[in-house]
Chain A
């Protein structure tokens, strides 16, 4: 791979489970040294995408390249260089966490357990306890430690903060920022907006197996702050708003409500052909923006 190329390159990825569509024609690039958030409601296809990248699922069509390598044929080499935290995982219940983690470390072909001990201290995880006796939060910490302990350059995580208390979540976000500073690439799914907003550089939003938008968080914050509501003197044809950058359009007779993701000028010029009774423009939070993606008809 070229050093400047994307670490993860997904082209037209489709995964079907029989007749059920898991993900459909997904395109996504994740670059070196960034934290990419993968946001979407439950069942949207986040886990399917991640597990296909790691060759745990066989793709139906499309291409996934990681470090420039084919996700299926070069899977072992990819996994040598990638840490993974599954969304739903278990370990050997009867064994102490240290024993399990050392075993997993050896599977990675990695001998030094120094980073493992250090991570466990940082996240206050008792390595001497049996895995089966751990609380949900502590099991999650064990999962986090195993994903990062071999110091790989790419970390893929499926809802990493599930079960962590708020303080530990903050500690984890801080840790992620440090990892990014060291040049690590992080791809993490989440259904918590605040988490993505806090720690990610970019976000990809998926809904109903299809990618909706990929955008920088700060750009989103800048661009997405406007919702426009217009009342006309008679019923309005929704096709009037067929403008690139108009999102979440709702037309109810004479009223239209939309999110403006483009230059406002374009919209105003278009609607000026009709008689406007009332018009309001309000800024809104990122939260509202995501909700429009989540709650559109057919949304899960």
Chain B
């Protein structure tokens, strides 16, 4: 294992530096970017308050607005989209409040937009707009995370950026650490010593595990540190942020076990790296489809990455020990297959 570290430390340090730089850089950029991820404000929304009353199959929306001086009466407009608020209207309202009944749909309370218009000296004037539900930004609708919150930013970065980068990198390290011994013709000499193939492979994997642990620790610490540096770190966030990093551990182990299996099976670096990349990208692809296509959400549970539930840990501080153990067990099972394959195969010479 020491030998591995001696031959790999430059690559390791370089990658740690790249990851740290990316994490710290994205966190540092968040304060100016965060507001861009917020939903656009509705015009005059501060003038109209909304309260919902659940009536079983229907929801009663209580709207109340600040009075406008000299107003003769008010008109309430409603429509499921914030543009063209004409179709449902209630005119000639004398009070500064109104009620609107909504039929529930399969998603619960439907999204409905309201506009209150005052009639002042024969002229119509907008009092303000409101919505039955809290509004989500375009980004949130696309990526499923609220990136106007710093946790959302962390989740987004993990998911789509350096989490993927790290998985590809560690998959590459796993596939190449064994296949390099074939390609550089070291395998014959190493395995001519009294070292069993099992021991050889398990020591390689122990090295990979340590490598991963170090990388995740650094990623987690840099994430916490850089958030503290921009003053966005509340005390309750430290644990979820570190945990988000730790929860990637079994997923990365599984990817590395797949890389190891590919390496001992094909005994060729390029093919092995290609196979492990395919494994990672396939999971990303499936998860992307699952998050975007309605009705296909269950697909993500067939991938290891689907169990790395960042939103749950970052927003709600909940995680499943069972999932953690399940993926770790899958990683060990793949590793066991790799050992069996390695013990039975001819060594390329």
Known A56-B347, A79-B193, A108-B194; further 15 A-B contacts with Cβ < 8 A: A17-B346, A51-B349, A54-B191, A56-B188, A57-B347, A58-B344, A76-B196, A84-B192, A86-B185, A86-B188, A88-B185, A90-B186, A92-B186, A94-B6, A107-B195
Nearest 9 interchain pairs by C-beta: A107-B193, A84-B192, A90-B185, A86-B188, A80-B194, A90-B184, A56-B347, A79-B194, A57-B346
- Cα A92 to Cα B183 in complex, Å, equals 12
B293 within 8 A of partner (CB): no
Given contacts A79-B194, A80-B194, A109-B194, contact A104 B189 (CB under 8 A): yes
Out of B186, B192, B345, name the residue touching A91 (CB < 8 Å): B186
Residues of A within 8 A of B189 (CB): 84, 86, 89, 91, 104, 143, 146
B41 within 8 A of partner (CB): no
B296 within 8 A of partner (CB): no
- Cα A125 to Cα B9 in complex, Å, equals 27
User: How many chain-B residues does the 8 Å CB contact rule pick out?
Assistant: 21
Residues of B within 8 A of A143 (CB): 189
- Cα A146 to Cα B188 in complex, Å, equals 12
A171 within 8 A of partner (CB): no
- Cα A90 to Cα B188 in complex, Å, equals 9
B3 within 8 A of partner (CB): yes
Q: Which residues in window 149-170 of B have CB below 8 A to A?
A: none
Nearest CB of chain B from residue A129's CB, rounded to whole Å: 16
Nearest CB of chain B from residue A287's CB, rounded to whole Å: 30
Residues of B within 8 A of A227 (CB): none
B229 within 8 A of partner (CB): no
Given contacts A56-B346, A58-B344, A103-B3, contact A84 B188 (CB under 8 A): yes
B190 within 8 A of partner (CB): yes
Q: Which of A47, A51, A77, A99 has the most CB of B within 10 A?
A: A51
A interface residues (Cβ-Cβ under 8 A, vs B): 17, 47, 51, 54, 56-58, 76-77, 79-80, 82-84, 86, 88-95, 99, 103-104, 107-109, 143, 146
B3 touches A76 (CB 8 A): no
Residues of A within 8 A of B346 (CB): 17, 56-58
Residues of B within 8 A of A108 (CB): 193-194
Q: Contact flags (1/0) for B313-349 with A, using CB distance below 8 Å?
A: 0000000000000000000000000000000111101
Residues of A within 8 A of B196 (CB): 76
Residues of B within 8 A of A54 (CB): 191-192
Residues of B within 8 A of A104 (CB): 189-190, 193
Q: Which of B185, B190, B195, B346 has the most CB of A within 10 A?
A: B346
- Cα A43 to Cα B159 in complex, Å, equals 52
B7 within 8 A of partner (CB): yes
B3 touches A92 (CB 8 A): yes
**Nearest B residue to A156 by beta-carbon distance?**
B192
- Cα A160 to Cα B184 in complex, Å, equals 19
- Cα A112 to Cα B38 in complex, Å, equals 68
**Nearest B residue to A56 by beta-carbon distance?**
B347
Nearest CB of chain A from residue B199's CB, rounded to whole Å: 9
Residues of A within 8 A of B185 (CB): 86, 88-90
Residues of B within 8 A of A84 (CB): 188-189, 192
Nearest CB of chain A from residue B196's CB, rounded to whole Å: 6
Nearest CB of chain B from residue A291's CB, rounded to whole Å: 28
- Cα A77 to Cα B194 in complex, Å, equals 7
- Cα A82 to Cα B346 in complex, Å, equals 20
B194 touches A95 (CB 8 A): no
Q: Which of B3, B194, B195 has the most CB of A within 10 A?
A: B194
**Nearest B residue to A92 by beta-carbon distance?**
B7
28 pairs, CB–CB < 8 Å, chain A vs chain B: A47-B349, A51-B188, A51-B349, A54-B191, A56-B187, A57-B347, A57-B349, A58-B344, A58-B345, A76-B196, A77-B194, A79-B192, A82-B192, A84-B189, A86-B192, A86-B349, A89-B185, A89-B188, A90-B185, A90-B186, A91-B184, A91-B189, A92-B186, A94-B6, A94-B7, A104-B189, A108-B194, A146-B189
- Cα A79 to Cα B190 in complex, Å, equals 11
A107 touches B7 (CB 8 A): no
**Nearest B residue to A91 by beta-carbon distance?**
B186
Residues of B within 8 A of A57 (CB): 346-347, 349
Residues of B within 8 A of A95 (CB): 6-7
Residues of B within 8 A of A99 (CB): 6
B349 touches A88 (CB 8 A): yes
